[in-house]
Amino acid sequence: MAQRMLRLSSGSLKHRLWRLAMRATPVPILARPRESSFWQRHWGEAISDAELPGYARSTDLKKWFARQLVEGLKPSSVLELGCNVGANLREIHALDPSIKLHGIELNQRAIDYGSAKVVPGGATLIQGSMADTMQLAATHGLGEVDVVFTSAAAMHCDDNIFAKAKEAALVLAKNAIVHMEFNAWSPADLQNMRNWRSSFLSDRWIRDYPGEYRGHPRVRKIETIAVPLDINFVDNIGRMMISDVTGMIIVHLAPI
């Protein structure tokens, strides 16, 4: 029997019901994927105020990530693309209060919450899409920073948005670009998860992050670091267990 193609409307309740249905059925229910524009609206508008404290929560993963950045790269300034409420910036500040903190975030309510309750007063949070990083940086007088990074944010963006963010990062970052994201470790990972996203209601775009930068004239070295399993978050999409982040990619840059 052909499976019925579903298209669910937005709303967290409907998404939770869809997840329950996926988990209960022996064969996954196929659904047409949402377009990138839907997910950009979702992250920019549909997140409820009740979800913001969860994004602000301090976790072992956030602390581990901050240590890799601060102790490994020793930046004096950082820019996070897709910073949400700024929890990663807070953890960086806790390790080294001298680091200048900047973030770009799509959701204005997340910025307001983060500015009031999460990040230190000296942090600069800018509302907008990471695809518009160059324009936003120019408008707000933001120049070069030591490190540009993302954490479980680029995975919510399609390839066109990521390409623009990557181009901006290669201009603004003096020393390194870092992605802790849904990384493909093998060709099978890339093909299977791209096919999976095209068949299911998901906002996760997997990509080969080292391959995105390999061969660029500014790239000196690319490090790949596996996220420790015991501190990584696991969620279910139907009967498939999945992590938002599967690797940390450090792109070391030569001076411009």
Question: What's the pLDDT tens digit per position in 5-48?
Answer: 444 444 567 667 766 766 665 445 556 677 888 888 888 888 88
Lowest mean pLDDT across 13-22, 138-147, 198-207: 13-22
Sign of CA dihedral 220, 226, 232, 237: positive
Percent of the chain at pLDDT exceeding 70: 87
Single out the residue of 114, 127, 123, 121 nearest to residue 53, CA to CA: 114
Please tell me the predicted confidence (pLDDT) of residue 203.
81
Residue showing tokens 């995975």 = 155
pLDDT top residue among 7 and 192: 192
Lowest mean pLDDT across 24-28, 137-141, 196-200: 24-28
CATH code of domain 12-253: 3.40.50.150
Please tell me the predicted confidence (pLDDT) of residue 1.
37
For the chain, the structural domain boundaries read 12-253
Three-state SS for the chain is CCCCCECCCCCHHHHHHHHHHHHHCCCCCCECCCCHHHHHHHHHHHCCHHHHHHHHCCCHHHHHHHHHHHHHHCCCEEEEECCCCCHHHHHHHHHCCCCEEEEEECCHHHHHHHHHHCCCCCCEEEECCHHHHHHHHHHCCCCCEEEEEEECCHHHCCHHHHHHHHHHHHHHEEEEEEEEECECCCHHHHHHHHHHHHHCCCCCCCECHHHHHCCCCCEEEEEEECCCHHHCCCEEECCEEECCCCEEEEEEECCC
Q: What is the mean pLDDT of residues 234-253?
A: 86
Percent of the chain at pLDDT exceeding 90: 69
Q: What is the mean pLDDT of residues 199-227?
A: 92
Position 174 pLDDT exceeds 90: yes
Please tell me the predicted confidence (pLDDT) of residue 4.
42
**How many angstroms separate the first and last alpha carbons of the chain?**
59
Position 230 pLDDT exceeds 70: yes
Burial of 256: CB neighbours in 10 Å, binned 0-12, 13-18, 19+? exposed
Please give the model's pTM, rounded to 2 decimal places: 0.86
**pLDDT tens digits, 56-114:** 999 999 999 999 999 999 999 999 999 999 999 999 999 999 999 999 999 999 999 99
pLDDT top residue among 182 and 242: 182
d(CA 62, CA 44): 22
| pLDDT mean across residues, the chain | 89
Lowest mean pLDDT across 49-63, 103-117, 230-244: 230-244
Q: What is the mean pLDDT of residues 214-243?
A: 89
